[in-house]
């Protein structure tokens, strides 16, 4: 296990470097979906990306740094989705429509980024914890807008529960690249049934 201080990656400075890094990250994501996190190695990533191990090490000193870069991409994308929901909440009070829209966008994102479902777990390491915790902070802010009467502690608890439910049930909302509308509908219903009474208190 690497120390947190050893987990870093090099940001490419050229368009060519950006393409190389993205190719490496895409290869890592494919391997994570196919084989899981535990068996991921820099050698396997280099082989899948059809590049040299030296090229991988130029940007990523270890497996954990690859996971961190991948988690950072997902974190920024999910933050954008959640920030859109926060902005929409400021201009609308229709909770049901907002939640539907948020779930649909997250499901659609995961369908196109299947490795998200594997690494989007708390307590799996620095990279995954950063992703989980930052998305959590956005959900807390969203709940605070939906239910201003909630204390900070209550908002954090309910956001944590909602996020864990979503992480657990996202796999039933799609079959790889095919969205399962029945699964999406059930996820919406579960979260609405949990949240609606809380918002009315």
CATH number for the domain formed by residue range(s) 4-64:
1.10.10.60
Full-model pTM: 0.85
Q: State how far the Cα of 162 lies from the Cα of 190, in Å rounded to an integer.
A: 9
For 138-179, the pLDDT digits (tens) are 889 888 888 889 999 999 999 999 999 998 999 999 987 899
- Domains 4-64 and 65-200 alike in fold: no
Any residues with CB less than 8 A from the CB of 64 and at least 6 apart, and which?
A: 2, 6, 7, 125, 126, 127
Task: Show me where the domains of the chain are located.
Answer: 4-64, 65-200
Residue 188: is its pLDDT beyond 90?
A: yes
Task: List, as one string, the DSSP characters of 51-104.
Answer: S-HHHHHHH-SSHHHHHHHHHHHHHHHHHHHHHHHHHHHHH---HHHHHHHHHH
pLDDT at 145: 86
Please say if the pLDDT value at position 4 is more than 70: no
Percentage with pLDDT > 70 across the chain: 92
**Closest by Cα among 105, 82, 99 to 146:** 99
Per-residue pLDDT, averaged over 32-59, amounts to 94
The total of other beta-carbon atoms located within 10 Å of residue 64's CB is: 21
Judge whether 51 and 21 are in contact, CB under 8 Å. no
End-to-end CA distance of the chain: 45
For residue 8, what pLDDT is reported?
84
The listed CATH number (1.10.357, 2.60.40, 3.40.50, 3.40.190) that belongs to domain 65-200: 1.10.357
- For the ranges 78-82, 118-122, 158-162, which has the lowest average pLDDT? 118-122
């Amino acid at each position: 296990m690497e120390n947190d201080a050893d987990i870093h990656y090099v940001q490419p400075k050229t368009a060519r470097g950006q393409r190389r890094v993205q190719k490496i990250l895409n290869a890592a994501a494919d391997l994570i979906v196919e084989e899981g996190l535990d068996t991921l190695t820099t050698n396997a990533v280099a082989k899948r990306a059809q590049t040299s191990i030296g090229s991988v090490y130029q940007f990523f000193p270890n497996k954990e740094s690859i996971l961190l870069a991948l988690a950072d991409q997902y974190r920024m994308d999910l933050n954008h989705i959640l920030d859109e929901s926060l902005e929409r909440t400021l201009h609308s009070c229709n909770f049901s429509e907002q939640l539907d829209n948020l779930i649909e966008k997250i499901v659609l994102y995961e369908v196109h980024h299947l490795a998200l479902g594997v690494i989007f777990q708390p307590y799996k390491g620095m990279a995954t914890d950063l992703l989980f915790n930052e998305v959590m902070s956005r959900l807390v802010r969203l709940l605070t807008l939906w239910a201003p009467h909630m204390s900070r502690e209550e908002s954090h608890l309910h956001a944590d529960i909602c996020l864990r439910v979503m992480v657990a049930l996202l796999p039933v909302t799609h079959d790889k690249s095919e969205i399962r509308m029945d699964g999406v509908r059930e996820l919406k219903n579960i979260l609405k049934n949990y949240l609606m009474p809380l918002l009315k208190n």
